[in-house]
Amino acid sequence: MRLMTHETDASARPARSRSNAGGVATVVAEDAASVQSATSVGEEATAVKSAMTLREDAAGVRSATKDPKDSKDSKVSKGSKGSKDSKGSMDSIDSMESIDYRTPVIRVADLVKDYSRGDNVVHALRSVSLSVGKGEFVAVMGPSGSGKSTFMNLIGCLDRPTSGSYELDGVEVTHLGPSQLADLRNQKIGFIFQGFNLLPRMDALDNVMLPMVYAGVPSQIRQRRAQVALEAVGLGERMHHRSNELSGGQQQRVAIARALVNAPSLILADEPTGNLDSRTSVEIMAILQRLNQAGATIVLVTHEPDIATYCSRTVVFKDGVVLSDHANQRVHSAAEALAA
């Protein structure tokens, strides 16, 4: 399945702790807060210093400076600083905030998508209704022609439904114009593609910074966020390598870092392990599981049943409808599989 390129009501669930995956969300929040709250060069420097404490070990002392104030531009609540080990992993991440499950990240109702083929009409989606709560990790499966590709293109705001409703993080998107959809994609969705989609003329750092260029993030902040994201996926020492100098697994790690830098509400992963060998696939799933444990909402398309076992829920499409939608009773741990 390919996302187009130009990718259950959970109210009854108890709130669980959300932590900052590799510190990226904290950096995004503090970037926005520092712009509003820093009234002098000294205060701005203090805000930057506070944000950089996410690089310290979990046992380190928190910054003595006060937390920057929340701002209306911040997409993420302020919270405790993240941490990582010397290899850039996402271990020992402190609690950041509680997830509010009352508003699903995805809510679609009676979603229909028809395509005209001459005199014929192809019913790609037939009145699909489902919700994805904040912090869920959902695998989307189904044979070719089942409607899963169409569904992913619609929830990725890459296509428009024929009819029905789609709310993304509480925003009804079905009537938005092209520029509004582009802004929404940039601000609320992080895409991970099977083919990585890295620009070969750019190194890893520049590829990760690219979404922030479109978002108008200042250069210094772009570089700092991108560095934190690459360190979070274990590529802190390879951030200046181009894609042809990286393995397939490393290129996919760059793609994951790129998906994180704007602290999106939703990560859409299109067959992220499709071009990788078995062990590297599990390594990628381990990163995605850690992101999910840190609070990320992830929807992943896969043809591989073993990959779906690393997700907490599986939705199966067939003939344009949801054939089954169930929680996975036993979610496999990718970290444990790698350690075995």
State the DSSP code for 244: G
Residue 231 to residue 86: CA distance in whole angstroms: 9
CB 221 within 8 A of CB 252: no
Task: Specify the pLDDT at position 3.
Answer: 55
Residue type, 127: S
Quick check: 96 pLDDT over 90?
Answer: no
Place of tokens 């772009």: 222
The answer to whether the beta carbons of residues 81 and 93 sit under 8 Å apart is no
- Picking from 289, 273, 186, the residue whose alpha carbon sits closest to that of residue 233 is 289
pLDDT computed for residue 231 by the predictor: 94
Q: What is the rounded CA–CA span in Å between residue 194 and residue 289?
A: 18
| 222 or 78, higher pLDDT | 222
Q: pTM, whole model, 2 decimals?
A: 0.72
Residue 340 pLDDT class (50, 70, 90 cuts): confident
DSSP, collapsed to helix, strand or coil, labels residue 302 as coil
Cα distance between residue 239 and residue 251, in whole Å: 11
Q: CB-hemisphere CA count at 13 Å for 147?
A: 22
What is the rounded average pLDDT for all residues in the chain? 77
Q: 3-class SS at 74?
A: coil
3-state secondary structure of 152: helix
Q: pLDDT tens for residues 221-270?
A: 999 999 999 999 999 999 999 999 999 999 999 999 999 998 899 999 99
Higher-pLDDT residue of 170 and 84 is: 170
Joined tokens for residue 139: 């695998």
CA dist., res. 222 & res. 235, Å (int):
17
Q: Which residue has the higher pLDDT, 3 or 246?
A: 246
Look at residue 215 in the predicted model and tell me its pLDDT: 87
How many CA atoms does the CB half-sphere of 258 hold within 13 Å?
A: 29
Q: What is the largest CA-CA distance in the chain?
A: 69
Element (H, E) at 163: strand 163-168
**Residue 49: pLDDT over 60:** no
**pLDDT for 41 beyond 50:** no
| Nearest in space to 75 (alpha carbons), one of 31, 29, 34 | 29
In 3D, which of 263, 206, 218 has the Cα closest to residue 34? Answer: 218
pLDDT tens, position by position, 179-222: 999 999 999 999 998 899 999 999 999 999 999 998 889 999 99
**Secondary structure (DSSP) of 9-50:** --TTSPP-EEE-GGGHHHHHHHHHHHHHH--SHHHHHHHHHH
Does residue 76 sit in helix, strand or coil?
coil
Q: How many other CB atoms are found less than 10 A from the CB of residue 85?
A: 12
Domains of the chain by start residue, with CATH:
17-98 (no CATH), 133-161+172-339 (3.40.50.300)
Model pLDDT for residues 127-158, shown as the tens digit of each residue: 999 999 999 999 999 999 999 999 999 999 99
> Strands 321-327 and 313-318: what pairing?
antiparallel
Q: How many CB atoms lie within 10 A of CB 149?
A: 21
What are the tokens at 93? 């991440």
What pLDDT is stored for residue 103 in this prediction? 76
- The per-residue pLDDT for range 293-323, each reduced to its tens digit, is 999 999 999 999 999 999 999 999 999 999 9
